Amino acid sequence: MKRFLLTTGAFLAVGCSGALTAPSGDGTVPLGEGPVTLAACQKAPITAAAAQLRRLSSEQELNSVRDLLADPAAAPAYVSHSGGIITEREVEGMALAAQELISRKGHVRYAPCKTDGAHDLACAEGFIRAFGKAAFRRPVEESEVEVLLTTYKKARDTAGVSPAVTFSESLGVVAQVILQSPSHVYVVERGVPDDSLPESVRKLDGFERASRLSYLFWNTTPDAALLSAAESGALDTPEGMRAAASRLLDDPRAQQALRRFASRWLELDGTQKHDALEGVPKEATRFPQDSATLRQAMREELVSLYAYSFGQPGDAFQTLMTSSRAYVNKSLAGLYGVKNGPTSDTQFQWVDLNKDQRSGLFTRAGFLALQASNEFSSPIRRGVFLYRNVLCESLDNPPPTVDDTPIKPGVTGGPMTVRALTHERTRGASCVGCHDRVNPLGYTLENFDALGAWKSGDVVKDGSQDVTLPVDVTATVDAGDLQATLAGGNALAARLGQSQRARDCHVSKWFEQAFDRKPVREEACSVLKVQEQFRADGDLRSLLLTLASSDAALYIGEAQP
Amino acid sequence: MKQRFSRRLVLRGLGGLGIGLPLLQFQNALAATPQVAKRFIVFFEHGGTLSNNAGDKKYSGNGAENGVDAWAPSTFGEALDPGPIHQPLAAHTDSLLLLRGIDNKAGRRQGSYGGNHYTANCTAMTAADVTPFDLSGKFENGDLRSKGRSLDQELADRLNIRHPVRIPCVSLGIWGHNYGTPFYRKSLEQLWGEESPSKAWTSTLSGVTPSGSQPDPAVLRAQALKKSVLDGTGESLKLFQNRLSSQDRQTVEAHLEHIRSLELRLSKESVPLSAVCNPPKNSGLTDGAAYPAYGNAQVDIMLAALRCGLTNVCTLNIGDMLTTFLNPLYRTDLGHSLDHAAREVGKTGTEANRYNDWYQTMLDNRKWRMSLLARFLDGLKATPEGDGTMLDNSVILWTSEFSFGANHSSADVPVLLAGKGGGAFRTGRHIDFNTEAAANPATLKYKTNKSTHNLFTSILNAFGYPDTHFGNAMADYQGPLPGLG
């Protein structure tokens, strides 16, 4: 299984017809090698990623057990810390978490009898089938019932303890086993054969599709309605999937998926390179208005703008990139200079920002403050983010020998603007290759200081004096399909709103969240089709519905032997 | 040393490739080797130390090439004269063996820049080949996995045959920024230490009572139920395995092995506890706790696990800066890690006025790390064993993936041994394998053919295992390090 590059847009390249091979019996033409194009996709047979076992993330695990046990306050101390093969510490953590969860008795609602009485084998079996179905996200197979019933009996018959193990304790043991069962902990997709599909492709069954939808939109285990839909065959068609996806998206729980997407995409929870938005330090003397409350408001504003744009009919992406609407409390309104805004920090309301200064997501304080240093704005950090996360352009890391001290005019360089010092520090021959692409994007945002407030000049030290040097926000941008001289953040925002590369990139980012990995070559056509639609309509809701009913969501390849 | 190998076993060259071989081969080694080390402990610090090594040379400490060697001893003679970082260990000088001039050759040969983050971490305790890890596609470019297991795991399995214990290796950690664990259970399989003292206590010491006291019936009942849960989970995994492709079966096999290991812990509740067992109460601290109490709690759990005879091997994985230890001003502004600022804040660097503060912050952090080792050595030394103390029969290794973190240098990595290793090591000494240092101990030239491969071989030998090699084929020099005994 080859991974194809979404980051470079290489698969969008035209003129690859030579890669097509001869039509097969059913009139389809396999994709062959080389870049994948939409034209080739129209004629290509259905392909799908090879099946691979996937473990629920800690967040998915937590949401799932809370829902399974109808216990929203449950907070088992289990953390998955490694993306690879499960570690002993994780297995032990799971065991402790299961013990803790079951002690809260949420599982007893699955028992068809009173659980504080005498041992009852039939009731134990009923419990296994009911709780097992909910936890495994599909009916329990007979061989599994057998193993779990044996577990029940062994617990019941434990030797050497007095008094004897109770019915309730035995069910607790079974429930703990169910919560640690691979059928719960891992997402298994085997699919079913279908005559209309190529030999190597299988159709995901209704329950497997239900899990995909549920973890995509709610990041939790399927609810009863979704499992019923799976059982009834309602998810067997793309239309049925779209309808089910639509129901899930209309549920308030889908807001969590949007918030989670925005937080990850915007790196609000931190990366290897920087702390979370609430943790990045700012120099107090320079930014007396900074506070923990302000940081929380910044996060709230960004994710709210994402959710707001998502709900807009029509070109939601354009709205996201260019809207001047903002959800603010008193502190944030103060930073933005909004008059007649909220009068307290606990009160948030939608306001219109000064359209001459701020349009779109990337003119907002949360982004601007996160991608800045302690004292000064950082065209490099802002540019790198836009280049990588918004345009999906690839960029190597700088070598470790590079001088990566922050740009501090008057301190780590002469009394000049941030932009001038940035230019001076990155004009070396080994730097310009990347920085000529990255820096100009950041230069257009030089009207915003390290906390995200509007600035018209840089205040820098000249000897013992503070001097104010006017900023220059006009830059010639050469990044992806942004090839223009742009004057300021609004000009950048307008271009991003129209950028096909930014739209393609956004689809890729959603794919990564939905499938918890990058797409593989067999999924290229699904991605391209969603991208084609999103380029044209910019409709975020439609993006998700199309993704949820795409071949990538409906089918699975044979597992690699 | 020679008589230690009087009974030849057919083990030549197996080294770190012991994976999959029947470990029974090691069972009889002890009979012929009455005086060998009994326990192995690793303190691993991420991000390197205050070093001036730049790969094939050392920095003078001026200008853009700033780098200061606070890891070096104060004087360069064979008698150890602790340097700035080692001051917290001054009372234990007689128990230390400071080894300089050792490269992580596996890291240097496989990594760009002489050993980038991922390569350096993967190889630091394995000396193995590395391979890209991008199965899920969600990792940053460059993330790698080791293809070999780490020395601690190799020894944990061997020693567990010679002296069966409840927990083959107690793996703990102190939370902080890092680019991957140096510890590998086996090829590709990372091992991450428990970073919450509270959870570590539960996992290691729960149910362990001071010697002589009766076990609590409620604890016994809970253990019986826990055994039922583990049995059932194991059966579920076995059933599940049959339905999978071979690649996925491997994933589930690892899961099943961990369940078995937890079962084994339960089944060894009856292992007699050592007479000096006096476990601490659960500190209740989490991985967000303040550093001094947090670190001390982890060290105390390791000490108790050894004293109570619960394990033969312990590891402590100490995360780097970007943690609560650090002055917030340094958290992003001086690069993504304080180490990286080493060159720029230098005496003539771009922020020279911050040099003193930077140096003190780094030194305080590294000395704090050393205070953990001091506490640990205090504990072992206070625990009688045979004619001496537990420290006499232990090998403690302190190391890191880098020497000079700012330069990502895996040359001249920090290597500090403590404990006599049952007589294998002559301590209280300093040995520099930098061949350029023979003529001038203070030289800025640097050259060595010694590698962690050789160090790890020496450690295996100290335990009476006659291995002649550990790790991959990238060592320039073969066999154990000379002159340690």
Q: Give the mutation candidate from B130, B135, B205, B225 for the A interface (greatest A CB count, under 10 A).
A: B225
CB contact under 8 A, A400 and B407: yes
pLDDT number for residue B333: 56
pLDDT number for residue A18: 31
Residue A142 φ/ψ, nearest 5 degrees = -60, -40
**Which of A518-522, B20-24, B246-250: highest mean pLDDT?**
A518-522
Q: Output DSSP code: residue A376.
A: S
- Give CA separation, A166 vs A97, A99, A152, A156, B77, in Å: 21, 16, 11, 7, 70
A5 touches chain B (CB under 8 A): no
Contact call for residues A203 and A191 (beta carbons, < 8 A): yes
Q: Give the model's confidence band at A527: pLDDT under 50 very low, under 70 low, under 90 confident, else very high.
A: very high
Q: B-chain residues within 8 Å CB-CB of A559?
A: 244-245, 247-248
Q: A-chain residues within 8 Å CB-CB of B233?
A: 95, 176-177, 180-181
- Residues A333-346 have a mean pLDDT of 95
Closest CA to B443 of B38, B151, B133, B100: B100
pLDDT number for residue B34: 57
Q: A-chain residues within 8 Å CB-CB of B202?
A: 96
Residue A80 to residue B301: CA distance in whole angstroms: 23
pLDDT number for residue A79: 67
The torsion region of residue B464 among left (phi > 0), alpha (psi -120 to 50) and beta comes to left
pLDDT number for residue B325: 52
- Residues A244-269 have a mean pLDDT of 93
Nearest CA in chain B to A151: B232
Task: Kindly tell me if the per-residue pLDDT of B381 is higher than 80.
Answer: yes
pLDDT number for residue B350: 66
Q: B-chain residues within 8 Å CB-CB of A279?
A: 331
pLDDT number for residue B219: 78
pLDDT number for residue B49: 92
Q: Please give, rounded to a whole number of angstroms, the shortest distance from the CA of B330 to a CA of chain A.
A: 9
pLDDT number for residue A399: 72
Would you say the C-alpha torsion B1, B4, B9, B11 has a positive or negative sign? Answer: negative
pLDDT number for residue A413: 80
Task: Kindly tell me if the per-residue pLDDT of A331 is higher than 50.
Answer: yes
Q: Give the model's confidence band at B207: pLDDT under 50 very low, under 70 low, under 90 confident, else very high.
A: confident
pLDDT number for residue B469: 98
Residue B410 to residue B120: CA distance in whole angstroms: 7
Nearest CA in chain B to A180: B233
Contact call for residues A230 and A209 (beta carbons, < 8 A): yes
- Residues A483-491 have a mean pLDDT of 97
A148 touches chain B (CB under 8 A): yes
Q: Give the model's confidence band at A8: pLDDT under 50 very low, under 70 low, under 90 confident, else very high.
A: very low
Task: Kindly tell me if the per-residue pLDDT of A17 is higher than 70.
Answer: no
Q: B-chain residues within 8 Å CB-CB of A374?
A: 329, 332-333
Mean pLDDT of chain A: 90
Nearest beta carbon to residue A559 from set B224, B248, B328: B248
Q: Give the model's confidence band at A271: pLDDT under 50 very low, under 70 low, under 90 confident, else very high.
A: confident
Question: pLDDT tens, A391-415?
Answer: 999 888 777 667 777 788 987 788 9
pLDDT number for residue B412: 97
Q: B-chain residues within 8 Å CB-CB of A517?
A: 136-138
pLDDT number for residue B345: 64
The torsion region of residue B120 among left (phi > 0), alpha (psi -120 to 50) and beta comes to alpha
| DSSP per residue, B117-177 | HHHHHHHHTT---EEE--SSS-SPTT-EEESS--HHHHHHHHHHHHS--S-SEEEEEE--B
CB contact under 8 A, B331 and A281: yes
Q: Give the mutation candidate from A59, A81, A88 for the B interface (greatest B CB count, under 10 A).
A: A88
A37: helix, strand or coil: coil
CB contact under 8 A, A275 and B332: yes
User: B30-34, B37-41, B304-308, B426-430: which range is least confident on average?
Assistant: B30-34
The helix or strand, by DSSP H or E, that contains position A432, with its residue range, turns out to be: helix A429-443
Question: pLDDT tens, B103-130?
Answer: 999 999 998 765 688 899 999 999 999 9
Q: Give the mutation candidate from B169, B245, B331, B338 for the A interface (greatest A CB count, under 10 A).
A: B245
CB atoms within 10 A of CB B249: 15
Residues 163-202 of A with CB under 8 A from B: 165, 169, 172-174, 176-177, 180-183, 186, 188, 190
Task: Kindly tell me if the per-residue pLDDT of A534 is higher than 90.
Answer: yes
Which has more confidence, A111 or B273? Answer: A111
ipTM of the complex: 0.83
pLDDT number for residue A11: 38
Task: Kindly tell me if the per-residue pLDDT of B88 is higher than 90.
Answer: yes
Question: pLDDT tens, B281-292?
Answer: 999 998 877 878
In angstroms, how far is CA A15 from the centroid of its own chain? 33
CB contact under 8 A, B224 and A160: yes
Q: Give me the half-sphere count of Cα atoms (radius 13 Å) on the Cβ side of residue B80.
A: 27
Question: pLDDT tens, B33-59?
Answer: 458 999 999 999 998 998 999 889 998
Nearest beta carbon to residue A561 from set B233, B246, B252: B246
Q: A-chain residues within 8 Å CB-CB of B116?
A: 400
**Which of A41-50, A318-327, A550-559, B218-227: highest mean pLDDT?**
A318-327
